[in-house]
Structure 1
Amino acid sequence: MPITPDDLDHLRRCVELARQALADGDEPFGSILVAASGETLFADRNRVRGGDATRHPEFAIARWAAEHLTPAERAGATVYTSGEHCPMCAAGHGWVGLGRIVYAASSAQLAGWLDAWGVPPGPVAALPILDVVPGAVVDGPAPELVDELEALHRARFPDRGTSAQ
């Protein structure tokens, strides 16, 4: 399914959450959970700076949804996120049975940017969501937001090489 204007509005909220995370000294990621009705149920941003590398917003969404929604409500909900889920978050998404995922920038794009800036890869492979959750419904990236996200991630590494563009 193509990314709609409503999807872009939700993704812009995720980018704003990512901006808040960066301003707080964290990695720039933000995500929201939207019910089938269109109501935003949960919103969060990355919170790993304290040392807990599992405090990704997508993982927080999976935990919250498992505690607060029925299986049918989870399946009908959409997760919007600034960056494609990492394998940990994709697995959480799959295990709790959440619905569609819409992301603004892909893991491959992020990995390319980081590589171009000379940032060493993280400890977990940057796998596409569908490699972890083959049955997931996934849409992204959103070209309208990719440059803005690259700039947010670039701001984390001001002393590194040049952009991947």
Structure 2
Amino acid sequence: MMTEANPTTTATPVDQVHLRRCVELAQEALDAGDEPFGSLLVDAAGVVRLEERNRVGGGDETQHPEFEIARWAAANLTPDERRSCVVYTSGEHCPMCSAAHAWVGLGTIVFAASGAQLDGWRSEWGQGPGAVAALGIDRIAPATPTRGPFAEFTAALRELHALSLGRTQA
């Protein structure tokens, strides 16, 4: 897995379509007063089964889109279906979401920006670390295949996170 602050991986055309939608969902979350994160669950046939965005603005900090996807998948998909799914997400899973993903048995995670990138931006803007350490997915769910981060999404996500912290310039 690649989680360094300077991504060099290029997204496939399919990845780009789904990751763009994740960035749109992250914008929707920000517009609704939530932190800017968005995710999709895509099945083996390429069908988007679920779209979700961050919903922590109400005070429940566990309302991450990746966690909701894991819950939905556990309730609605067979173990084989879950293994063949791909979760696309604007930001690398936090430890809670990585664990939920692994416990439910979901397949590959494709993320636009890494936890290391977000930590770097926060540091650059004089913000302290987040409430939970930004451990890479590989530290929490080492058997889960991952792809990301992708340079083509860095500027848009950096701007969304800057806005979420009340910064006018990224």
SS in 2 for 1:104: strand
TM-score (norm 2): 0.92
Unaligned runs of 5+ in 1: none
How many residues matched? Answer: 162
User: Greater relative contact order (Cα 8 A, min sep 6): structure 1 or 2?
Assistant: 2
Q: Return the match for 2:141 from 133, 156, 159.
A: 133
**How far 1:158 moved relative to its partner?**
3.0
For 1:5-58, what per-residue CA distance to the aligned partner results, in whole angstroms no more than 9, with x for missing partners? 001100000000000000111100000000000000000100001110100000
> Residues 94 and 134 of structure 2 are in contact (CA less than 8 Å); yes or no, is this contact kept in structure 1?
yes
Judged with a 3 Å threshold, the aligned counterparts in structure 2 of structure 1 residues 142 and 47 are, in CA distance, closer, same or farther, namely same
What's the Cα RMSD here?
Answer: 1.4
Matched, 1:143 2:151: yes
The CA distance in 2 between the partners of 1:50 and 1:120, in whole Å, is: 22
**How far 1:159 moved relative to its partner?**
4.5
Aligned pairs for 1:19-98 (under 5 A) are 19-98=27-106
For 1:103-154, what per-residue CA distance to the aligned partner results, in whole angstroms no more than 9, with x for missing partners? 0000000000011111121221100000000111000011111110000001
The CA distance in 2 between the partners of 1:60 and 1:85, in whole Å, is: 12
**How far 1:4 moved relative to its partner?**
1.0
> Residues 74 and 99 of structure 1 are in contact (CA less than 8 Å); yes or no, is this contact kept in structure 2?
yes
The CA distance in 2 between the partners of 1:147 and 1:2, in whole Å, is: 15
After superposing on structure 2, the runs of 4+ consecutive aligned residues of structure 1 that deviate more than 4 Å are none
Partner of 1:158: 166
